[in-house]
């Protein structure tokens, strides 16, 4: 066995956080590669409510499909958020449970920490400080979305010894060579996703659901989205090998719920989604599949809808974002209203109820008006589908960033905490916080009310 590596999924600090099929996909992909190379890998999940040590604290409610509430503890708000009148919490295990877990693993020679939202960085730095105080002297490497999108900020604020931006698979060989002076020989070819080992989800203490990725990146470039920064290009897997993976988790670990994390699951469906769906049906894999990340509406036709229905696709979310044609065009042109109404028609004919067809609608884009979101809600309802409001979070490096900086009354360039979607960072007189509250009510209200 080679060096001991500890991987840590950090705490979340936020006003609200909900486990909507969340798993540390990237970190566990790296774990799988390290294990393949003979490293002794252990894992601590700061978000895991199921550690036996968490017994005795109030159990958060979980959903049968996998997901649900995290355990949370109210903490003091960071200075920047003091004026925002909502409680702020640390989501995940208690600090004492984390410290006990850190002391229980055999002393690692390297610790890898992941990160997700830019505005969760205080949770990352609290995690790293706790590690540092408990296991002094062990080098800590930070990677993930925050480390990629805000490298300088992470270097100055996370407390990590090394900050790695970009896909871990690409940088690990050089990193391990620098730290241990050792070569990693067994390495996937980053242009060939089928050469990657399955992520080490078995390290999770409860496999309530497994996320699947059939591709990385996206061929579109919407102005509000960071996909092109986080992924160098659009790469796809062999659809039959994807089904092999689903079958593996189902047969070996009895997993019956799967979530797709793809940015572009339905792009080029003829060659990807359609063969995958046929294969799931042919092999009679009796599982439920969920799509929490917005699907491309344009990818839906009669065949895809029917196959999805029969293959067991249950929770569907589509990225409509707005029904205003000019904004659809300006932001990247991934969908039109006509395509949306056709897609809903196909899905309904295939057997889906309207409330099962969730349409994400962005709320709080720079200079977006109350009326635009209200019209979008009305449009989705008129099709018999379900509007799902997603509060816009501005992301550095995206094409819309400069507009966001101009529109926002918060200093979003200096302080990533202001990227938090709960704040509606780009609210302005045309879409105030109160108006947002009204829109949420409108979206929830039954049609006709
Ligand atoms: C799937 C997904 C979700 C899932 C949940 C995922 C999860 N794990 O919790 C759902 C649908 C629930 C979700 C929700 C939201 N999401 Co989201 N989500 C994603 C998505 C598409 C993929 C994330 C992922 O797992 N990727 C796959 C793995 C392979 O990548 P990875 O984990 O980053 O790991 C790689 C590298 O980062 C690196 N790496 C990772 N860790 C480490 C550690 C070390 C040491 C090293 C060296 C390397 C390394 O190597 C890995 C392998 O290549 C990303 C976009 C994207 N393409 O990344 C957006 C993204 C992260 N989400 C985003 C947003 C805005 C949201 C929402 C706020 C949307 C909304 N308005 O409601 C919500 C909030 C969620 C919450 N909990 O509060 C933004 C981030 C915004 C920000 N300011 O940071 C992103 C970037 C999308 C975008 N719009 O561009 N999301
Ligand atoms: S289609 Fe979706 S994933 Fe692709 S760039 Fe647009 S928002 Fe991002």
Question: pLDDT digit string (tens) for 390-431?
Answer: 999 999 999 999 999 999 999 999 999 999 999 999 999 999
**pLDDT confidence tier of residue 56, bands split at 50, 70 and 90:** low
Render pLDDT for 340-381 as a digit per residue (tens, 0 to 9).
999 999 999 999 999 999 999 999 999 999 999 999 999 999
Residue minimizing CA distance to atom 2 of ligand 2: 263
- Checking if the pLDDT of 448 tops 80, the result is no
State pTM to two decimals.
Answer: 0.96
Mutation pick for ligand 1 pocket among 116, 177, 178, 259 (CB with most ligand atoms within 8 Å): 116
Shortest-distance ligand to the CA of residue 392: 1
How close is the Cα of 239 to the center of ligand 2, in Å? 21
**pLDDT confidence tier of residue 57, bands split at 50, 70 and 90:** low
Mutation pick for ligand 1 pocket among 14, 108, 261, 264 (CB with most ligand atoms within 8 Å): 261
**Does the Cβ of 419 fall within 6 Å of ligand 1?**
yes
- Checking if the pLDDT of 109 tops 90, the result is yes
**Does the Cβ of 261 fall within 6 Å of ligand 1?**
yes
Q: Between vectors from CA 167 to CA 117 and to CA 321, what angle results, nearest 5°? A: 45
Specify the higher pLDDT residue, 188 or 58. 188
Calpha distance 281→298 (Å, rounded): 23
Instruction: Please give the mean pLDDT across all residues of the chain.
Output: 95
- Checking if the pLDDT of 28 tops 70, the result is yes
Residue minimizing CA distance to atom 6 of ligand 2: 222
Q: In the chain, what percentage of residues exceed pLDDT 90?
A: 87
Q: What is the 3-state secondary structure (H, E, C) of the chain?
A: CCCEEEEEECCEEECCCCECCCCCHHHHHHHHHHHHCCCEEEEEECCCCCCHHHECECCCCECCCCCECCCEEECCCCHHHCCCCCCCEEECCCHHHHHHHHHHCCCCCEEEECCCCHHHHHHHHHHHHHHHHHCCCCCEEECCHHHHHCHHHHHHHCCCCEECCCCHHHHHHHHHHHHHCCCCCCCCCCCCHHHCCCCCHHHCCCCCCEEECCEECCCCCCCCCCHHHHCCCCEECCHHHHHHHHHHHHHHHCCCEEEECCCCCCCCCCCCHHHHHHHHHHCCCCCEEEEEEEECHHHCCHHHHHHHHHHCEEEEEEEEECCCHHHHHHCCCCCCHHHHHHHHHHHHHHCCCHHHEEEEEEECCCCCCHHHHHHHHHHHHHCCCEEEEEECCCCCCCCCHHHHHHHCCCCCCCCHHHHCHHHCCCCECCECHHHHHHHHHHHHCCCCC
Mean pLDDT for 196-221 is 96
- Of 17-21, 39-43, 181-185, which gets the smallest average pLDDT? 181-185
Please give the domain boundaries of the chain with CATH numbers for all domains.
4-180 (3.40.50.280), 209-444 (3.20.20.70)
Q: In the chain, what percentage of residues exceed pLDDT 70?
A: 97
Ligand 2 binding site (Cβ under 6 Å of any ligand atom): 218, 220-222, 225, 227, 263-264, 294, 319, 332, 334
Shortest-distance ligand to the CA of residue 334: 2
- Of 50-64, 88-102, 198-212, 229-243, which gets the smallest average pLDDT? 50-64
Q: Which atom of ligand 2 is nearest to the CA of 263?
A: 3
- Checking if the pLDDT of 261 tops 60, the result is yes
Mean pLDDT for 37-57 is 83
**Does the Cβ of 263 fall within 6 Å of ligand 1?**
yes
Mean pLDDT for 198-213 is 95
Render pLDDT for 315-338 as a digit per residue (tens, 0 to 9).
999 999 999 999 999 999 999 999
**pLDDT confidence tier of residue 447, bands split at 50, 70 and 90:** low
Mean pLDDT for 298-311 is 98
pLDDT of residue 139: 96
**pLDDT confidence tier of residue 449, bands split at 50, 70 and 90:** very low
């Amino acid at each position: 066995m080679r060096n001991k590596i500890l991987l840590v999924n950090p705490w979340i600090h936020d006003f609200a956080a909900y486990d909507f099929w969340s798993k540390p996909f990237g970190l566990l992909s790296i774990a799988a590669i390290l294990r393949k190379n003979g490293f002794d890998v252990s894992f601590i999940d700061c978000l895991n409510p199921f550690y036996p040590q968490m017994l005795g604290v109030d159990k958060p409610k979980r959903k049968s499909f996998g997901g649900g509430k995290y355990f949370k503890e109210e903490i003091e708000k960071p200075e920047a958020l003091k004026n925002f009148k909502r409680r702020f919490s640390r989501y995940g295990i208690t600090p004492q449970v984390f410290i006990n877990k850190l002391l229980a693993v055999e002393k690692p020679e390297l610790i890898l920490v992941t990160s997700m939202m830019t505005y969760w960085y205080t949770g990352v730095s609290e995690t790293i400080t706790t590690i540092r105080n408990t296991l002094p002297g062990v080098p800590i490497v930070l990677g993930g979305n925050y480390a990629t999108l805000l490298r300088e900020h992470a270097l100055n604020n996370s407390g990590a010894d090394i900050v790695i931006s970009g896909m871990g698979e690409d940088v690990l060989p050089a990193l391990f060579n620098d730290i241990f002076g050792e070569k990693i020989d067994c390495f996937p070819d980053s242009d060939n996703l089928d050469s990657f080992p399955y992520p080490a989800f078995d390290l999770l203490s409860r496999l309530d659901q497994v996320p699947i990725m059939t591709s990385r990146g996206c061929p579109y470039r919407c102005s509000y989205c960071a996909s092109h920064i986080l992924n160098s290009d659009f790469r796809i897997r062999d659809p039959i090998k994807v089904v092999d993976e689903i079958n593996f988790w189902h047969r070996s670990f009895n997993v019956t719920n799967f979530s797709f994390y793809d940015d572009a699951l339905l792009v080029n469906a003829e060659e990807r989604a359609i063969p995958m769906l046929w294969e799931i049906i042919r092999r009679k894999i009796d599982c439920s599949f969920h799509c929490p990340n917005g699907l491309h509406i344009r990818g839906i036709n009669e065949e895809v809808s029917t196959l999805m229905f029969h293959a067991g696709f249950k929770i569907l979310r589509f990225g409509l974002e707005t029904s205003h044609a000019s904004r659809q065009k300006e932001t990247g042109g991934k969908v039109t209203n006509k395509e949306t109404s056709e897609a809903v028609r196909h899905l309904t004919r295939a057997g889906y109820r309207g409330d099962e067809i969730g349409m994400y609608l962005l709320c709080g884009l720079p200079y977006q008006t109350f009326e635009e979101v209200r019209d979008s809600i009305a449009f989705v309802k008129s099709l018999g589908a379900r509007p799902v409001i997603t509060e816009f979070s501005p992301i550095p490096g995206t094409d819309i960033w400069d507009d966001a900086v101009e529109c926002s009354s918060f200093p979003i360039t200096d302080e990533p905490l202001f990227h938090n979607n709960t704040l509606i960072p780009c609210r302005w007189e045309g879409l105030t916080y109160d108006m947002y509250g009204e829109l949420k009510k409108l979206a929830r209200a039954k049609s006709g009310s």
